[in-house]
Amino acid sequence: MSSRRDFLQKISASAFSLPFLSWASCTDNKSSQYQTQEGPVLRVAIMGLGSYGNRVAEAMQSCKRAKVAGVISGTPSKIKDWQSRYNIPDKNCYNYENFDRIKDNTDIDAVYVITPNALHHDQVIRVAKAGKHAICEKPMAINAKEGQEMVDACNNANVKLLVGYRMHFEPKTLEIIRMRKEGELGKIMFFQGLSGFRIGDPNQWRLNKQLSGGGAMMDIGIYSINGARYMVGEEPVWVTAQETKTNLDKFKEGVDETIQFQLGFPSGAVASCLSTYNMNFLDRFYLNGQEGFAELQPATGYGPIQGRTNKGELTQPHMTHQTVQMDEMAAIILDGKQPIVAVDGAEGVKDLKIIDAIYLAVQTGKKIDVKL
């Protein structure tokens, strides 16, 4: 988490100087695109060089359709390290104050925003105004209103906005979705999603409401929300929720420790889920139908995902999630490919509307209607 703290300390400091040259010799993106046998390569600048940014970049080394082409960071030493590791030229390096200049850089097609939740809104809108496609980590914003503003900004700029839903491309997950779609599980009745771990450093940004927008729900909890939707195959129409907080020093006002929540779907199916920062070994999805069941445990970790159904063990091979995600997102952006499960900004806004409803249900103790 020290890398995150470094980032947060640096983001408010004055901009450091980096050599920047616009590619005046390049007249259009297509002329400078790398080509492979599979097609053009999506050239990505990573914004936020913390632990997950590093994981994404390492995974992209195995991509066929995506390449790390630039960096955006508030820490000069990190930029120098990434330059040496990924052969990134000075002209493709930016800080948080000057990255709007990316507009003139035809060597970069998209920016992957991997920063604290509360920063996503402004940063994605700036990326859109610079004419670059945006990929944003989840949750896409701290509420549905901000998320919709991000979608609108990208639509107005005629650029794509995708959200880092890596599980939407995971083979065992997709096999369960296939089975459900083809009726092999029968009428879906129930989903359970358990998402949680014991969080450490109390001073990290994830426990700072101004940066995270909440607590466990704005981090690990979104997996059960999103998972309920793609596993059941419907959109919820109501939500109820209850909060438990045992450590008021660590989990201050507006920072949730544990929330249990329930979702109701038009068909009558229901979901019962748990989001927590105070329990380990919680990463399980269970889907029940009248003709069968499916279970994933672990369900959303970095892998390998393990799963079984009433027909036996799931045996689809493990592939590094972020490698698959970035190759698939390159195909979405460059080829117009339609994914099996949506990963666009509209998908992200739906999750945010549910999160808004969960927090409202906690505050009021009432069943909240949801309209997606």
Q: Which whole-number Å values give the CA distances from 332 to 66, 225, 246, 302, in the listed order? A: 12, 24, 44, 22
75 and 190, same structural domain?
A: no
Q: Kindly give the confidence (pLDDT) of every residue in the chain, 372 residues in length, as a single tens digit, with 9 standing for 90 and above.
A: 444 444 444 443 433 333 333 333 333 444 345 677 778 999 999 999 999 999 999 999 999 999 999 999 999 999 999 999 999 999 999 999 999 999 999 999 999 999 999 999 999 999 999 999 999 999 999 999 999 999 999 999 999 999 999 999 999 999 999 999 999 999 999 999 999 999 999 999 999 999 999 999 999 999 999 999 999 999 999 999 999 999 999 999 999 999 999 999 999 999 999 999 999 999 999 999 999 999 999 999 999 999 999 999 999 999 999 999 999 999 999 999 999 999 999 999 999 999 999 999 999 999 999 999
CATH number of domain containing 143: 3.40.50.720
Distance CA 34, CA 36 (A): 7
280 and 234, same structural domain?
A: yes
Active site residues: 138, 223
199 and 110, same structural domain?
A: no
355 and 212, same structural domain?
A: yes
Sheet with 293-296: strands ordered across:
312-313, 307-309, 293-296, 282-289, 188-196, 270-276, 258-264, 238-244, 368-369
CATH number of domain containing 198: 3.30.360.10
146 and 183, same structural domain?
A: no
Distance CA 63, CA 327 (A): 6
Q: Checking DSSP bridges between strand 258-264 and strand 270-276, what pairing results, if any? A: antiparallel
Distance CA 112, CA 164 (A): 9
332 within some domain: no
- Structural domain containing residue 79: 2-166
309 and 171, same structural domain?
A: yes
